[in-house]
Amino acid sequence: MQIIGILIDVVGPVFLCALVGYIWARRGTPFDTAFVARLVTAIGTPCLVVDSLTTSGLTTAALAQIALGAAMCLTLALTCGYLLVKVMRLQVSLYLPSLTFSNTGNMGLPVTLFAFGPPGLALAIAFFTIASLVNFTVGQAIAAKGLRLRDLLTMPLIWAVALSVGMQLTGLALPNMVTRAVHILAGITVPLMILSLGYSLARLKISSFNRAFILSLARLIGGFAIGWAVSFVLGLDGMARGVVVAQSCMPSAVYNYMFAERYGSNAEEVAGLVVLSTLLSLLFLPLFLSTVM
């Protein structure tokens, strides 16, 4: 019964909202994905980071612990993913990012919000921030076979994190007018992320089903095991453990497909992994979440 409750109350709303984006795409209604992605990346996500991290009431130590957990999860996922890709004799630059970087934004943030409330969302954002920084540097470098540090320094997310940490350490706060504006802009982020996920899934196709199925299981089940292992090592419990496990076992991120397409790899293979892992997560996430709720 608990699993059914989680499916209805936590995972269900995310997929229903994503279904709106999916139907929107299937009807051929215009949806400027480039504009939405830029809006979320440059404005929505930074505002969400500042709004959540400065109003959650969580200590800097608690957020730092989740950030450490995220770094450990990514390191283990990268290592295990590399070994699996080598064993299966697959192209590292094509498949490794999809096995390493989960959808901690479009799916992870709303799922943790519905599962653990605003405090859980703040912890999830700490995880998402680390995952995004590593994805846009290491992940992009793997796909592109090269690293550009300039991309990291120009990310609005970096400056949003620096501002949030600075305010927490100094006790300073933004003027009320700015705080309220940031809160309003933060509110656009999660809905647009979910709609974009659904719209993207409608455009992607599954190729090489058997391989995509095996790798999707590795992403989901492997991420779940890694999340639990890291939580055990760090001594996490309660909401903190739940957030680390939930974020670690999310399906493959859509950005992995975008990087593969951008750098001339066989993007259709990555698309299949993104779509199938997302669909399978509808079955696996309630089961995984039932162990931490």
SS (H, E, C) 151-169: HHHCCHHHHHHHHHHHHHH
* 106 Cβ neighbours under 8 A, 6+ residues apart: 193, 194, 196, 197, 253, 254
Q: Which residue has the tokens 């890709």?
A: 85
Of residues 43 and 226, which shows the higher confidence score? 226
Instruction: Using alpha carbons, select from 105, 101, 121 the residue that is nearest to residue 113.
Output: 121
pTM of the predicted model as reported, rounded to 2 decimal places: 0.83
Instruction: Using alpha carbons, select from 220, 21, 272 the residue that is nearest to residue 102.
Output: 220
Of residues 251 and 62, which shows the higher confidence score? 251
Least confident of 15-29, 147-161, 212-226: 147-161
pLDDT greater than 60 at residue 167 = yes
- Write out pLDDT tens, residues 188-199: 888 887 888 788
What tokens were used for 259? 């990087």
Question: What whole-number distance in Å separates Cα of residue 216 and Cα of residue 186?
Answer: 31
Least confident of 217-221, 222-226, 252-256, 267-271: 267-271
Tell me the pLDDT band of 42, cut-offs 50, 70 and 90.
Answer: confident
The reported pLDDT for the residue numbered 80 is: 95
- Determine the angle formed by the axes of helices 238-248 and 60-87, rounding to 10 degrees: 30
Of residues 171 and 266, which shows the higher confidence score? 171
- Determine the angle formed by the axes of helices 189-203 and 267-289, rounding to 10 degrees: 130
State which residues form the domain around 145: 2-289
The reported pLDDT for the residue numbered 15 is: 85
Number of separate domains in the chain: 1
Can you give the CATH number for the domain in which 78 is found?
1.20.1530.20
Of residues 105 and 179, which shows the higher confidence score? 179
Contact 284, 220 (CB under 8 A): yes
Instruction: Using alpha carbons, select from 125, 154, 144, 120 the residue that is nearest to residue 48.
Output: 125
Instruction: Using alpha carbons, select from 149, 65, 97 the residue that is nearest to residue 277.
Output: 97
The reported pLDDT for the residue numbered 69 is: 95
In the chain, % of residues over pLDDT 90: 29
102 strand-pairing partners = 252
Q: Which element (helix H / strand E) includes 144?
A: helix 140-144
pLDDT greater than 80 at residue 144 = no
Contact 215, 95 (CB under 8 A): yes
Burial class, 259, CB count within 10 angstroms (exposed 0-12 / middle 13-18 / buried 19+): buried
What tokens were used for 221? 């089940």
Mean pLDDT of the chain: 85
- Write out pLDDT tens, residues 72-103: 999 999 999 999 999 999 888 888 888 998 98
Mean pLDDT of 107-120: 88
Alpha carbon 62 to its chain centroid, in Å, reads: 19
Q: Which residue has the tokens 């009320």?
A: 176
DSSP 208: S
In the chain, % of residues over pLDDT 70: 92
